[in-house]
Amino acid sequence: MSSLDLLALLPVLILALGATTILMLGAWWPARRPLLLASVGLALLAALAAGGLTPPIPEVAQMFSAGPYARFFTILWALLAALVLLLSLRYGADRQFPAGEYPCLVLFSAAGMALLSSATSLVGILLGLESFTLALYILIAIDKQGTRGMEAGLKYLVMGIVATGFIGFGIALIYCAGGTFHLPEALQVVASAEGELRPLALLGWAMLLCGLGFKISLVPFHLWTPDVYQGAPSPVTALLSIGSKGAVFAALLTALLTLPETGPALPQVLWMFAAVTMLVGTLCALRQQNLKRMLAYSSVVHMGYLLTGLIAGGDTGRSAVLFYLIAYAAASLGAFGVITSFALQGEEPQDYHDLRGLGYHHPRRSTALACFLISLAGIPPMAGFMAKFGIFHAALRADYLGLALIGILASLISVYYYLRPIIVMFMTKERAVCLHPGVPAEHAVLALCLGATLLFGVYPGPLLELILLVIP
């Protein structure tokens, strides 16, 4: 590995080495607040490095890209880590999170997400995926005071290991059939493999997609999602729902870049996945009485929309996926951020029952939560509308009228379950609630998310232009 390679990987190195330093520091000097703020600084530094430095080489070791697309996602995940850490400032202190380990793991997972998003080979995908999944195994169960966290951690661990097995075996089969790890050549194996090798290639891709399907909780691999979302501490849930899923999508976008040239097999399977994911996720979300479980199923539905954009492909589809990811990230981080900021001594108000009349006791944060939910439902003037609009646009342009219709149906039904928490907050009898008023760091993160949600909803032009610059 040359110095040029290292320079190209600098933002990821800042995250990883910084995380190690924080871990070491934490062992001797376990001061929670300074370490956490230092980690925020490190994440911002990494984002700055990714944005400011032009990498000298386009690809590192035939595994990771260093192009604008990779840098875009590195900035995104570094910022996400910074915001998640800021959200954990009070929450982590309340719950006695380990001083060094917690920020260290968040930074590590951001590094893993950045690697995964920039992967240009199957090995890169596996490496990136495993590095942040390992961090998340611990993060989900980091709250040792509650039992739900342990349960969630264990569930994620078991499911994650199965998924890793699938992915590893799938990659081996693909390599066996085509003799390459590099993308997009590895995808072309599906079309080019002949004779006895073709079944191997197809099986390999099927297993790889199943494994990735676990990670982004496509139906029918979504069963872990609600339990893990509910049990994990809210800032970690935000990281899980945005970062880990978004990074897998970023990698899939690279991996499936040449999807139309591979014949009808893969698009048909993905079509089924997208349709079933949107419908089943929507129907499951209808029944939920718990905000975090509802958001879990809603994230399942959002994965279906993203997959629709991915299948549609082309510049339109790819930019729609990227825009959707950002709109989803802002709204989702905001929603989990509101739950975090309400948490009082480790108790999060998750049940709709706990939210009654909240709109009048905590008007600002309740309004913000309402805006985030409206954005997730895809109603103007929030960013979620522009995002869904982009997806439908891409689907229709690529002649996937069926998926667009299913998507429209799902978003109509989804309004019902997104409205329920809003109704509970604003339209039920008030009651005396005792929730935390929030600290400035939390308010700042929420304000940022709300600003992004509104801004990209009414004036998405500049962001769309930026996205057109970075898409591969």
Binding site for other proteins (CB under 8 A): 319, 360, 363, 374, 379-381, 385, 389, 392-393, 396-397, 404-405, 408, 411-412, 415-416, 419, 423, 426-427, 458-461, 464-465, 468
For residue 298, the minimal CB distance to other proteins (Å) is 17
27 vs 458 by CB, closer to other proteins: 458
Q: Are 133 and 160 in contact (CB under 8 A)?
A: yes
Question: Can you tell me the distance from the alpha carbon of 449 to that of 393, in angstroms, rounded to the nearest whole number?
Answer: 25
Q: Cβ(304)–Cβ(403) under 8 Å?
A: no
Minimum gap (Å) between residue 117 Cβ and other proteins: 22
Of the two residues 89 and 391, which places its CB atom closer to other proteins in the complex? 391
| Distance of alpha carbon 341 from alpha carbon 370, whole angstroms | 15
Give the number of other CB atoms < 10 A from CB of residue 17.
13
Q: How far is the CB of 417 from other proteins (least distance, A)?
A: 11
Q: How far is the CB of 428 from other proteins (least distance, A)?
A: 8
Instruction: Give 364-368 contacts, CB < 8 A, sequence gap 24+.
Output: 365/338, 365/341, 365/438, 365/446, 366/338, 366/425, 366/426, 368/334, 368/338, 368/446, 368/449, 368/450
- Taking a C-beta distance cutoff of 8 angstroms, is the pair 238, 113 a contact? no
Counts for the chain of helices (H) and strands (E), in that order: 21, 2
Task: Considering only CA atoms, give the Rg of the chain.
Answer: 21
- Cβ 397 to other proteins, closest distance in Å? 6
Amino acid at 387: A
By beta-carbon proximity to other proteins, the closer residue of 179 and 363 is 363
Q: How far is the CB of 259 from other proteins (least distance, A)?
A: 21
Cβ proximity to other proteins: between 202 and 355 the closer is: 355
